[in-house]
Chains A and B, each alone.
Chain A
Amino acid sequence: MAKVLMKGNEAIAEAAIRAGCDGYFGYPITPQTELLEYMSRRMPELGRAFVQGESEIASINMVLGAAAAGKRAMTSSSSPGVSLKQEGISFLAGNELPAVIVNIMRGGPGLGNVQPSQSDYFQATKGGGHGDYFPIVLAPSTVQEAIDFTILAFELADKYRNPAMILGDGSIGQIMEPVELPEVESKPPDKPWAVTGCKGREKNIIRSLYLLAGPLEARNVILQKKYREIEANEQRHAEFMLEGAEMVIVAYGTTGRVAQTAITRARDEGMPVGLFRPITLYPYPKDAISSLVEQARVFLVLEMSAGQMLEDVELAVKGTVPVEFQGWLGGRVPTPSEVTQTIKEIRTKYLK
């Protein structure tokens, strides 16, 4: 496979195409718009559907329609736009429909700004919309991962009949890196549940409306069983220099990458520090974190937020080891030297 140079947003779009995405429905918003732009050009070339909806809400509901018809469908946006999509995402989950949603996060709350941020973690991983549900959430830290995880997102969405989300910050969307695009298209499974016209078969009904408490409870029990299955099977993470690490940094996406540079420098100075980088944010890779409490004397969580993933780390560590936190707010991206400085401070506090 020959390498090409792609921006994160374009790469996600091309990966979706190779994953067999039949329909893209979206609405522009910085810093994600290149994804929609790329799709607006490529999808018609391939005879597939591209629709710029009149709003984010319209777009997510078009995704729902396409998914119900058995098609691989996706939408993408950035933070405020993804807030608008939450009702539709809840409906996708309630209807057990597979779809891919991309959030290239920007600074918030409110209109915020167009700089990179990770402050939609709670929204993405704890449901976001109404009701008891979880979308599967994947967090790329390179443009290559943005490609690989987009393909994986389509596969996991189909496997569990559940919405899957790519959660990247503005940097992941905007950065350009050399990548390899897979040549083979990912094939969707058969979808006997899809509403495709019921000639010669029983009607398929896709719904999230259950008027009575009993049937809705039964429905929820089925959904919860599925989420436990996802939690048991799909936790993913990456490790960097964890061997002998007494300080374990937990960071994802761009922050994980900045931490990696800082850790390389700290290791050169003999500091025993390593990186645990979650790839799935739901299901959170809590089992692997829990198993690190034997080795770690302190955890340091880094996020471009006020401390959202921090809570998942604390839940996994269960108070056995101290958990420290540093956050960057309002669209500011940390530098490796800031992180190195924090590593030094934490080391003085706990490891000396």
Chain B
Amino acid sequence: MHSEIENLVLPESMLDVSRISIFAGRFGTGKTEVAINYALALTKLDGSVTLTDMDVVTPYFRSRDMSERLERKGVEVVAPSELTRDIHLPAISARIWGTLQSEDGFTVMDVGGDSQGARAIGQFKALIERSGYIMYLVVNPFRPYNSTLERIAETVEDIETNARLKTGALVSNPNLIADTTLQTVQEGHRLVEQAGEELGLPIAFLCMEDRLLHEGVEDQYAQPILPLTRHFRPPWDE
């Protein structure tokens, strides 16, 4: 069974949090799960937490689909209105302006995949820069177009051009969902580390599903670990 999110605390080395944390990257690398888990972890700190759903790309499995659960746990979700939930519209919420102009609390931005997704945040460049931000590039080397150093380098360039913002760090999210083992994480993370070195980008943290986090696992990695609780499940696995 999955450990409850209440037990989740950010490692000390992750406590230096920018007001705005942006999760961008290739399509299907786990940005939404990471952003949700990160936002929930931030609720343990002082200050309000807002998660903005910037996804204009994906029709299913978006932050907005989890808004009730997140609101219950103290994360405000800024997403397109309920009316448009089941329509695949490339829309974002007008409330994003207010969220970005606010000077308090933390804002986590869940960005849609690829350059098309990144383009949706480009228009907020000035506001985001004024508030102070870090843009994370989420990498899962088991996904297509994520599995080689060249592809990851391409992604960084592609996302930065469209988001009009700079990548601050990589987030390593090596996984095969239910088939993930400790070995999967080890192998995948090695490639992300190489990419980080090549690109001159630090790895902010390594994501691992909570079921894998046995005693001593954390000691094997140089980076802090963000424990992930899976929020999205297929219909047959309710």
List A residues at the B interface (Cβ < 8 Å).
Answer: 3-7, 10, 14, 30-31, 34, 38, 41, 113-116, 170-171, 174-178, 254, 257-258, 260-261, 331, 333-337
CA distance A165 to B217 in the complex (A): 46
Contacts of A31 in B (CB 8 A): 59-60, 88
Q: Tell me if B86 and A5 are in contact (CB < 8 A).
A: no
> Which of B27, B142, B178 is within 8 Å of A4, CB to CB?
B142
Contacts of B237 in A (CB 8 A): 261
B58 (CB) vs chain A CBs: closest residue: A174
Q: Tell me if A257 and B236 are in contact (CB < 8 A).
A: yes
Query: Is B177 among interface residues, defined by CB-CB distance under 8 A?
Result: yes
Query: Is B61 among interface residues, defined by CB-CB distance under 8 A?
Result: yes
Q: Tell me if A5 and B235 are in contact (CB < 8 A).
A: no
Contacts of A14 in B (CB 8 A): 144
Interface of chain B, main secondary structure:
loop
Q: Tell me if A30 and B176 are in contact (CB < 8 A).
A: no
Query: Within B46-70, which residues are at the interface with A (CB < 8 Å)?
Result: 59-61
Contacts of B200 in A (CB 8 A): none
Can you list 16 contacts pairing A with B, beta carbon distance less than 8 Å? A4-B144, A4-B176, A7-B28, A31-B59, A31-B60, A38-B144, A113-B87, A114-B59, A114-B87, A174-B60, A176-B28, A176-B177, A257-B235, A257-B236, A261-B237, A333-B235
Query: Is B175 among interface residues, defined by CB-CB distance under 8 A?
Result: yes
The 5 closest A-B pairs by CB, nearest first: A178-B176, A257-B236, A178-B179, A30-B88, A333-B235
Q: Tell me if A261 and B88 are in contact (CB < 8 A).
A: no
Contacts of A257 in B (CB 8 A): 234-236
Q: Tell me if A174 and B59 are in contact (CB < 8 A).
A: yes
Contacts of B88 in A (CB 8 A): 30-31, 114
Interface of chain A, main secondary structure:
mixed
Contacts of A174 in B (CB 8 A): 59-61
Contacts of A333 in B (CB 8 A): 235
Q: Tell me if A3 and B144 are in contact (CB < 8 A).
A: no
Q: Tell me if A171 and B176 are in contact (CB < 8 A).
A: no
CA distance A6 to B179 in the complex (A): 13
CA distance A31 to B61 in the complex (A): 12
Contacts of A7 in B (CB 8 A): 28
Known: A3-B176, A4-B147, A170-B59. 6 other contacts (CB 8 A): A5-B176, A6-B143, A34-B27, A174-B59, A178-B179, A336-B238
Contacts of B236 in A (CB 8 A): 254, 257-258, 260-261, 336
Number of B residues near A (Cβ < 8 Å) is: 24
Q: Tell me if B86 and A114 are in contact (CB < 8 A).
A: yes
Query: Is B140 among interface residues, defined by CB-CB distance under 8 A?
Result: yes
Contacts of B60 in A (CB 8 A): 31, 170-171, 174
CA distance A176 to B175 in the complex (A): 11
> Which of A3, A10, A30 is within 8 Å of B179, CB to CB?
A3
Q: Tell me if B238 and A175 are in contact (CB < 8 A).
A: no
> Which of A4, A34, A178, A334 is within 8 Å of B235, CB to CB?
A334
> Which of A3, A175, A254 is within 8 Å of B142, CB to CB?
A3
Contacts of A170 in B (CB 8 A): 59-60
Contacts of A10 in B (CB 8 A): 28, 144
Q: Tell me if A4 and B143 are in contact (CB < 8 A).
A: yes
Contacts of B61 in A (CB 8 A): 174
A24 to chain B, nearest CB (A): 16
Q: Tell me if B238 and A5 are in contact (CB < 8 A).
A: no
- Given the known interface contacts A171-B234, A333-B235, A336-B236, the answer about A5 and B59 at a Cβ–Cβ threshold of 8 Å is no
CA distance A66 to B60 in the complex (A): 33
B91 to chain A, nearest CB (A): 14
> Which of A6, A171, A258, A260 is within 8 Å of B144, CB to CB?
A6
Contacts of B179 in A (CB 8 A): 3, 178
B38 to chain A, nearest CB (A): 20
B238 (CB) vs chain A CBs: closest residue: A335
CA distance A176 to B173 in the complex (A): 15
B175 (CB) vs chain A CBs: closest residue: A5
CA distance A171 to B60 in the complex (A): 9
Q: Tell me if B86 and A115 are in contact (CB < 8 A).
A: yes
Contacts of A336 in B (CB 8 A): 236, 238
B84 to chain A, nearest CB (A): 12
Contacts of B147 in A (CB 8 A): 4
Q: Tell me if B238 and A337 are in contact (CB < 8 A).
A: yes
CA distance A174 to B235 in the complex (A): 12
CA distance A6 to B145 in the complex (A): 11
A2 to chain B, nearest CB (A): 8
Contacts of B27 in A (CB 8 A): 34
A5 (CB) vs chain B CBs: closest residue: B142
Contacts of A6 in B (CB 8 A): 143-144
CA distance A209 to B66 in the complex (A): 55
